[in-house]
């Protein structure tokens, strides 16, 4: 019998890479999709037609119970969230409701619907929980100090996952994933903003980029590597929490250097315009993850390096933007 998985956040980069990964392993994959005429629905249907989409919303618990009853999953991956930090400052209530309470609703739906207690649950926790970091590098035991409504909501989701594991003996895991990117990353995130801009400057489509704070540093990995870690967590004998990261930190300047080197432009600074609109009320300055527990227990390691990742993203953006030029 094929294993069955239900993924929330199926239209995001992780949802899509995870769906492909699980389909390759012979899983039947169901994806929860929100709203009427969701424009991202078509992308999933075209790129991964084998995924069966189920309508439902993390804001509506009965739709989650229905989705579980219909899909009868062995594994649930809760990747759905309002995931953009900058927007979370503008819509803190929505962020708390979906990113925070959404996880509780899914856990509650599982508790109610899964009487046989067969479902394994994965919670997408985030390095944003570390925020104003208390120590470097950050491990599973580093205290949290979130710096945005998004980070705060993720802390709630993280602890409610632990709480359901302890209270109801659920197989519930939490992956504390550091920033991870890919050609499927949304355009609002800094890596994609940089790689698309490099491609557009090269093609003569754009000359200026309004940009925020240049001082942040991140531990950036590849989404395609990170979804493998999610699956590995659910294949263990016991549920646990794991940091998933590369252990390397890069600056935004490194990011732009690499993206522009890929299109053969050395000095990108004249193209950047500092813009207050992209500044955040509070910042996460620097993140570095220690993934040694994941390496030891799961045998997981990242495969794609930061330069390889940026190269892959620029190549993809050159192809996309070149089509617009025609
Ligand atoms: P985050 O780590 O989840 O917030 O990932 P992002 O890719 O959204 O942002 C990474 C860092 O880049 C943050 O410190 C942002 O403040 C910084 N940054 C500076 N300018 C921009 C910008 O124009 N867009 C985005 N998304 N981030 C920016």
What residue spans define the domains of the chain?
4-180+221-244, 187-218+248-287+305-325
Between the CA of 41 and the centroid of ligand 1 the distance, in Å, is: 26
For ligand 1, say whether the CB of 189 is within 6 Å of any of its atoms.
Answer: yes
Nearest CA to ligand 1 atom 20: 212
Residue-level pLDDT at 37? 84
Nearest CA to ligand 1 atom 10: 190
Statement: residue 60 has pLDDT above 90: yes
Residue-level pLDDT at 199? 98
Residue-level pLDDT at 66? 98
Statement: residue 325 has pLDDT above 90: no
Residues 126-148, mean pLDDT to the nearest whole number: 98
CA–CA separation, 209 and 273 (whole Å)? 6
Q: Name the packing angle between helices 13-24 and 223-234 (round to 10°).
A: 60
Residue-level pLDDT at 36? 81
For ligand 1, say whether the CB of 180 is within 6 Å of any of its atoms.
Answer: no
| Residue 284, φ and ψ in degrees, nearest 5 | -100, 115
pLDDT in tens, 28-53: 999 999 988 889 999 999 999 999 99
CA–CA separation, 111 and 124 (whole Å)? 19
Residues 251-277, mean pLDDT to the nearest whole number: 97
Atom number of ligand 1 nearest to Cα 209: 23
What is the share, in percent, of the chain residues with pLDDT greater than 70? 100
Residues 147-171, mean pLDDT to the nearest whole number: 98
Between the CA of 55 and the centroid of ligand 1 the distance, in Å, is: 31
Residue-level pLDDT at 35? 82
Distant-in-sequence, close-in-space partners of 125: CB < 8 Å, separation ≥ 6:
154, 157, 158, 161, 174, 175, 176, 177, 241
Residues 154-163, mean pLDDT to the nearest whole number: 98
Instruction: State the CATH class of domain 187-218+248-287+305-325.
Output: alpha beta
Between the CA of 280 and the centroid of ligand 1 the distance, in Å, is: 9
Residues 1-8, mean pLDDT to the nearest whole number: 97
Statement: residue 138 has pLDDT above 90: yes
Mutating to test ligand 1, I would choose from 125, 150, 190 the residue with most ligand atoms within 8 A of its C-beta, which is 190
Q: Name the packing angle between helices 149-168 and 102-113 (round to 10°).
A: 20
For ligand 1, say whether the CB of 108 is within 6 Å of any of its atoms.
Answer: no
Residue 284 banded pLDDT, cuts 50, 70, 90: very high
Residue-level pLDDT at 263? 98
Nearest to 32 by CA among 2, 55, 59, 5: 55
Nearest CA to ligand 1 atom 13: 216
For ligand 1, say whether the CB of 311 is within 6 Å of any of its atoms.
Answer: no
Active-site positions read 126, 128, 150
Atom number of ligand 1 nearest to Cα 215: 14
Ordered DSSP codes for 65-108: HHHHHHH--SEEEE--S---HHHHHH-HHHHIIIIIIHHHHHHH
Mutating to test ligand 1, I would choose from 138, 211, 216, 281 the residue with most ligand atoms within 8 A of its C-beta, which is 216
Query: For residue 80, what are its two tokens?
Result: 């759905």
Residues 253-258, mean pLDDT to the nearest whole number: 98
- Domain 4-180+221-244 adopts which CATH fold? Rossmann fold (3.40.50)
Nearest to 149 by CA among 217, 84, 75, 235: 84
Statement: residue 297 has pLDDT above 80: yes
Nearest CA to ligand 1 atom 14: 216
Residues 233-250, mean pLDDT to the nearest whole number: 98
Q: Which residue bears the tokens 């045998």?
A: 299
Nearest 5°: CA angle at 226, between 13 and 69? 65
Between the CA of 275 and the centroid of ligand 1 the distance, in Å, is: 13
Statement: residue 326 has pLDDT above 80: no
pLDDT in tens, 177-210: 999 999 999 999 999 999 999 999 999 999 999 9
Residues 66-88, mean pLDDT to the nearest whole number: 98
For ligand 1, say whether the CB of 179 is within 6 Å of any of its atoms.
Answer: yes
Nearest CA to ligand 1 atom 1: 85
Atom number of ligand 1 nearest to Cα 287: 2
Question: Using alpha carbons only, how large is the chain's radius of gyration in Å?
Answer: 19
Average pLDDT along the chain: 97
């Amino acid at each position: 019998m094929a294993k069955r998985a239900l993924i929330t956040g199926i239209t995001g980069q992780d949802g899509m890479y995870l769906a492909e990964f699980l389909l390759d392993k012979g899983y039947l994959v169901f994806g929860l999709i929100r709203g009427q005429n969701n424009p991202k629905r078509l992308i999933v249907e075209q790129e991964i037609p084998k995924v069966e989409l189920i309508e439902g919303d993390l804001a509506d618990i009965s739709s989650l119970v229905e989705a579980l009853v219909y899909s009868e999953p062995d594994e649930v991956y809760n990747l759905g969230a309002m995931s953009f930090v900058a927007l979370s400052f503008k819509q803190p209530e929505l962020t708390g409701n979906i990113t925070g309470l959404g996880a509780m609703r899914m856990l509650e739906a599982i508790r109610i619907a899964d009487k046989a207690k067969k479902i394994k649950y994965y919670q997408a926790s985030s390095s944003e929980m570390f925020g104003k970091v208390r120590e470097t590098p950050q491990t599973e035991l580093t205290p949290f100090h979130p710096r945005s409504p998004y980070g705060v909501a993720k802390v709630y989701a993280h602890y409610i996952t632990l709480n359901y594991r302890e209270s109801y003996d659920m197989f519930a895991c939490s992956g504390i994933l550091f920033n991870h990117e890919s050609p499927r990353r949304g355009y609002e995130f800094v890596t994609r903003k940089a790689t698309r801009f490099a491609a557009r400057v090269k093609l003569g489509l754009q000359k200026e980029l309004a940009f925020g704070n240049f001082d942040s540093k991140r531990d950036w990995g590849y989404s395609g590597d990170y979804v493998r870690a999610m699956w590995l967590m659910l294949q263990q004998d016991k549920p646990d929490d794991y940091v998933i990261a590369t252990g390397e930190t890069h600056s935004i300047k490194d990011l732009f250097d690499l993206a522009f080197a890929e299109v053969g432009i050395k000095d990108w600074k004249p193209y950047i315009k500092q813009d207050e609109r992209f500044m955040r009320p509070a910042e996460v300055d620097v993140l570095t993850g220690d993934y040694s527990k994941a390496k030891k227990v799961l045998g997981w390691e990242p495969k794609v390096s930061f330069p390889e990742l940026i190269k892959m993203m620029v190549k993809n953006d050159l192809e996309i933007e070149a089509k617009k030029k025609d």
